A and B are shown apart, each in its own frame.
Chain A
Amino acid sequence: MDNAKRQKQIRQLVINLTLFILVAIWTIPTLGIFVSSFRNRDDIASTGWWKILPHREWQPVREIIPADLGLNPDAPMEIEGVTGTFEEFRAGVETPDEKRITWIGNKRIGKIEVQEQVWAVSWNFTLDNYEQVLGGQDFEFTRPDGTVEIVPGDNMVGAFLNSLAVAIPSTVIPILIAAFAAYAFAWMDFQGRRWMFIMVVALLVVPLQIALVPILRDYKALQLNGTFLAIWLAHTGFGLALATYLLYNYISGLPRDILESAFIDGASHFTVFTRLILPLSVPALASFAIFQFLWVWNDYLVALIFLGGNPEFELVTQRMAAIVGSRGSEWHLLTAGAFVSMLLPLLVFFSLQRYFVRGLLAGSVKG
């Protein structure tokens, strides 16, 4: 009996450990940029972000000027009791007493450092990256050698506001239109009802790529390109099939007798819809809203095509993609910018996770 209990404990341990490893693998990438976004520019560029953890590091304890020892760098030299060539000293030679001799710089005007291994943490945290990536003004940056470099800010605040101005109506408008349609499908009898609904179902999985070329032509004809209205309508069009389908599933499942008693009392469809159906459908509306919001906020393709020409209306995703394209190795900007772009989705996600999961289970998967 004791053996069985032990086996069970071991199994539990294996399960927890495996899951822990998987969770760690899934979390470390995000953690990496989060930590890096607070490190200063030089640290990010020269050392891995994991150096914020305690680690062994060589630090100089003493400096020697090569000329003082009268060394000839072109031949093997003896420094502090160890011998080696110039190249070996450049890479660092360890002494028997756990020190390291390293030649810094070139043969003529270099110096020699005697280094010792110590425990260290790289904890120079800063908010400068955020300041630079958020603001629109130029940003002064002092290099370690004292020269001042002026870099333009990335104006993420502007992009953030644009993204909000795109995402909020692109979420609310399709929900409103879809809710009206879903109500009609569920509670009204009219000609062509079946065929219209078949159209909704058929359009659920149609890839939006199919619409981009013709819609762009329409927009050019209407001079709509590069306006908020263009992109709201596009997101409304692309999200509407799913919204109608999901809301229909929910609204058609509401108890019939509540509505019938309202009709007997002489309420109109519009009153029933606004006073009864909308409040009762809040869970379904919320779960679709979260989906659509995340989808629109995170969208890159639709924005690229319909807002692409106008830098003033650039969204967060476009801004980030532009930084990747032009300054892909400036990790202090990329990490801070990525985190700014993730802030709102993560907030929505954590505060409304329950609705999000419910929406997923109801089939909120966009075509």
Chain B
Amino acid sequence: MDILRSRKELDQSLGARLVSWIGRVLLAIGIPAIAFLVLYQGFLFLRDSDAPRGLIALVAIIWGVGGVAILYWIFNTLVERLPDVWRIRLLPFVFVGPAMAILAWYLAIPTLRTFWISLFDRNGPPDGLSFFQLLSSDSFVGLRNYVAVFTDDLMREAFRNNLMWIVFGSTFSVVFGLLIATLADRSSFEKLAKSLIFLPMAISFVGASIIWNFIYEFRPANQEQIGLLNAIIVGLGGTPEAFPQWVDIAPWNNLFLIVIVIWLQAGFAMVLFSAALKGIPEELLEAGRIDGATEIQIFFRIMIPYIQGTIISVWTTIIIFTLKIFDVVWVMTGGQFGTHVIATQFYRQSFTNSNSGFGSAIAIVLLIAVVPVMIYNLKQFREREVF
């Protein structure tokens, strides 16, 4: 990498640095902007054309993917023709610029914009006012949306339900994942079992909701049950119920929705645990056995402590996942019957109710909830000292 190091010896006068800085910004924004414009024009054309749908889809794919690739190539060619000094300064930004610009547009800046919107009433900040005019306008409500987020009845229900999702969803996914990984490791059909448990991970939430709706399907007691769960219950002499919609047992009817996520996520947990368990040195387990430990003692005293790190990271991942759960609830119950969660409230407030102030405040609460994990990630990154 000597070519790169030489950059530091180059003349670094103020003017040159300024021009170089401008060049970088232009590149970072220019590539995505031009890519965007080119693609945009193409899409306006495609949108208005009445060719067969399959053809449009195909053209769209080639246009989109090819367009992006060609733009990188053009910008690279342009920068490579510059004098060495400029080439070395600017080339990294041809590579890294578009990614940074897109990340900034889609994730980094929206956190600030959403926070800003959350300080205003349902229509968001009005157009055409200066910063100070905005602060003194009637639309500015300060932190009132946040007060509403924590006092609104439906929001409280959503927080309670989301807590249930997080506690039961993550715990049972981890427990089943661990149980299945351990059993599969010693069974005679490990591969098949793992594939089948893992399979739901490929299924969408919408698909999974249909699958489980079918399990919970309810028919009045005098008809034949076509839902498996009710058929079993009737077979055992019980009365059939529409379980997710069973308001009498609220909030426990949420458990029938949470089961779906356990069904989807246990496979994920299992794969990670299985790999971790295979990493335990055989001598360690053998030493335990020689000392007279039972298999159950070995499991709790040796295996679990050994894979503790994996357990924590899987647990955290599923917690973040269940925190943002949306599709299952939205498709199964639409949030009715006391099943709202934070993300369905966010959707309802932002898009159905078009109360963007309230909706944005909910989004910020979600963001704050993941901040500890973000800090942990950054800490890990710093400890690795690769930079």
Contacts and interface: CB of A to CB of B under 8 A. Distances in A.
B142 interface: no
B200 A26 contact: yes
Contact of A227 (B47, B95, B200, B377): B47
Contacts of A53: none
Interface in A18-36: 18-20, 22-23, 26-30, 32-33, 36
B260 to A, nearest CB: 9
A33 B107 contact: no
A177 B105 CA distance: 14
Given A158-B53, A210-B114, A215-B110, A189 B1 contact: yes
A331 B226 contact: yes
B34 interface: no
A269 B114 contact: no
**Size range of the interface on A?**
35 or more
A148 B309 CA distance: 62
Contact of B327 (A20, A300, A335): A300
A158 B73 CA distance: 34
Contact of B64 (A49, A169, A210, A304): A169
**Size range of the interface on B?**
35 or more
A209 interface: yes
A199 B108 CA distance: 8
A130 interface: no
B88 to A, nearest CB: 9
A215 to B, nearest CB: 6
A168 B313 CA distance: 30
Nearest to A319: B206
Contacts of A180: 72, 94-96, 98-99
A48 B193 contact: no
Interface string B33-67: 00010011001001100000110111011001100
A200 B103 contact: yes
Contact of B350 (A208, A212, A268): A212
Contacts, number: 342
B225 A48 contact: yes
Interface in A313-359: 317, 320-321, 324, 328, 331, 334-335, 337-338, 341-342, 345-346, 348-350, 353, 357
A100 B39 CA distance: 72
B65 A169 contact: yes
Nearest to A164: B57
A106 interface: no
Interface string B199-218: 11111111101111111010
A233 B188 CA distance: 46
A353 B363 CA distance: 34
B204 A22 contact: no
Contacts of A33: 210-211, 214
Contacts of A30: 199-200, 203, 211
Contacts of A48: 224-228, 231
B3 interface: yes
Given A180-B95, A268-B80, A27 B196 contact: yes
A354 to B, nearest CB: 11
B50 to A, nearest CB: 11
A52 interface: no
A161 B57 contact: yes
A298 B331 CA distance: 13
Interface in A148-189: 158, 161-162, 164-165, 168-169, 172-173, 176-178, 180-181, 183-185, 187-189
14 contacts: A16-B189, A29-B211, A36-B214, A50-B228, A162-B53, A165-B58, A173-B65, A183-B95, A222-B40, A237-B102, A294-B202, A317-B206, A334-B213, A349-B199
Given A194-B387, A300-B205, A301-B326, 20 more contacts: A22-B179, A26-B199, A50-B231, A176-B65, A180-B72, A190-B89, A193-B387, A197-B387, A207-B370, A237-B103, A237-B106, A263-B3, A268-B76, A269-B95, A300-B326, A324-B209, A331-B217, A337-B210, A342-B203, A361-B272
